[in-house]
Amino acid sequence: LGTIGFSTVARADIAGCPGFESGSASQETVDHFYALRAVDIVRKATMGDRAKLAPLVAPDASFTIWRGDAATSAREEGVAGIIEMAADLKAASFEYVVVRSGPWAEAPGSCAWSTKVIWRTADRAAGVSVIFDFEDGRMTRAMGTEVAIAEGEI
């Protein structure tokens, strides 16, 4: 779910990258960090908290949700766009999955990360799967697809 570019040498330029400051040594740790950041941003957007969103969302960030063959893109970018997208999500709950991985052999090549969060509506069989992109810790894009969700017990 989370992705990052790798370099062939250790990179000092990501030392201050959010999610890496504690010397995070695995994809799992950074996936959790950015999935929870996406959740925090959507919560703040649902409440319309523009002041707290400003440092977390890039001014030119774009937001789109695909519902079948039609896109419901936010008309605005940045903070106004994530507020519009959060209203469109109609999320009642969320879930995300991270891969349990070992330590990285190489340092990340840049302060960029993508993570996926599934937002469920009040109808537990429906939701929106959204991939959030981050650069330098700020959300730069969110692209989602409406999904049907099935679950059960074995």
pLDDT score of 107 more than 90: no
Question: Biggest alpha carbon distance in the chain?
Answer: 48
* Chain-centre distance for alpha carbon 137: 11
How far apart CA 118 and CA 98 sit, in angstroms, is 12
21-43 core/surface letters (b: 16 or more CB in 10 A; e: else)? eeebeebbbbbbbbbebbbebbe
* Chain-centre distance for alpha carbon 62: 13
pLDDT of res. 21: 62
How far apart CA 69 and CA 137 sit, in angstroms, is 31
pLDDT score of 93 more than 90: yes
pLDDT score of 98 more than 90: no
Residue 34, H or E segment: helix 27-46
